Amino acid sequence: MASLKVLEQLARKHGTPLFVVDHDELRKNYATFKKYLPRVQAYFAVKANPDPAIVKTLYKAGASFDVASMPEFRIVYEFIKSMRPKERQDWIWDKIIYANPIKANETLKELDQYKALVTYDNSEEIKKIKQYAPHSGLCLRLRVSNTGAMVELSSKFGAKAGEAVDLILEADKAGLVVEGLSFHVGSQTTNFDNFVQAINVAAEVYKEAKDRGYTKMNLLDIGGGFPAPYDPTVKPFRELAKKINTELDRLFPKNIQILAEPGRFMVATAGTAVSKIIGKAVRDGKLCYYIDDGVYHTFSGIIFDHCHYHPKAFKKGPTEICTVFGPTCDALDVVSLAESLPSKLQRGDLLYSENIGAYGNASSTWFNGFPPAKVVHINQ
């Protein structure tokens, strides 16, 4: 995170609300991921923060990209196309995976021209891909345990292990090529055993597929879920990486390409929100601060992502437990019901919230007519 002095200077220059992205932090997070998972190619999950400047920095650091919609695909495609000879498209296999298992017909039609790698998890999707994107490579998404994840995904996506090879053979019979397997252990997974169990499930499916005559798979996508250090209870990334490396080396030969889809891990600590106090009141004996950012904007992760972001004051002083409200007229717009803040803050004073780079401003709206925070990039 940038220093408080820099954040305050940026707020005075650009106004508030402000969303500050530190590109040194992005590069550091990518380097950490590669240091502890050297065998794994990181496909940044663009949905975590689709800002083109973030895509550019991570691309230059060495990242590939996980996209889940055509707008996300175009953000990556247009940037990388500008960096490489326009007549070449073979780089898509190295740089983009379309990791949304359910795709509209129109999406598949557009994807087909790129011969992209796409995920699937059911028979209906095989029929759609065969009809609308037959040149795609396929990656079967498995259903795995999401126990302990902040955001559970297994009820929405993933084929059961018992039906996995049948779906691989069904795709093969349709003339499609299944390149490998994928899974997702759930967002912000602090239960590291989820990864261990999922890698073992994938290894069993690989073995069954080979035993039943399918030998074309050569990749494993271990998905996302790598936790951001929101608080001290989150164990160090190196501990998770050690478990993952042990299982990958034990169960998958070196010729199997390993992918991952880190999103939150890459961008959470790179974003800081700066807001201004626009009102102050005492309600039922409790001090309430009103700020010019809220859950319809940078703090949307409170609603959509089950996150808690803690506003902090630039000024010091005796504190008390306060409520922090966003600027809209909706009672849902509550940033925190119990935040320890100085009691003598005034209108115009600034607050900041750390580790808010993932999903927050990516889900900002114009609800009630209030615009999203202005985005400022530093250390690009």
- Tens-digit pLDDT profile for residues 70-117: 999 999 998 888 877 665 556 676 799 999 999 999 999 999 999 999
Is-contact 201 140, C-beta < 8 A?
A: no
Mean per-residue pLDDT of the chain: 93
Read out DSSP for 203-240? HHHHHHHHHTT-----EEE--S-PPP-SSTTSPPHHHH
Within 10 angstroms of residue 317's Cβ, the number of other Cβ atoms is: 10
Domains parsed from the chain with CATH numbers: 4-18+269-378 (2.40.37.10), 23-268 (3.20.20.10)
Within 10 angstroms of residue 323's Cβ, the number of other Cβ atoms is: 19
Stated pTM of the model? 0.93
Is 329 assigned a catalytic role? yes
Name the active-site residue from 139, 288, 307, 329.
329
- Tens-digit pLDDT profile for residues 199-236: 999 999 999 999 999 999 999 999 999 999 998 889 99
Burial of 217 (0-12, 13-18, 19+ CB in 10 A): buried
Q: How far is CA 54 from the centre of its chain?
A: 12
Q: How far is CA 128 from the centre of its chain?
A: 27
The confidence band for 146, taking pLDDT boundaries of 50, 70 and 90, is confident
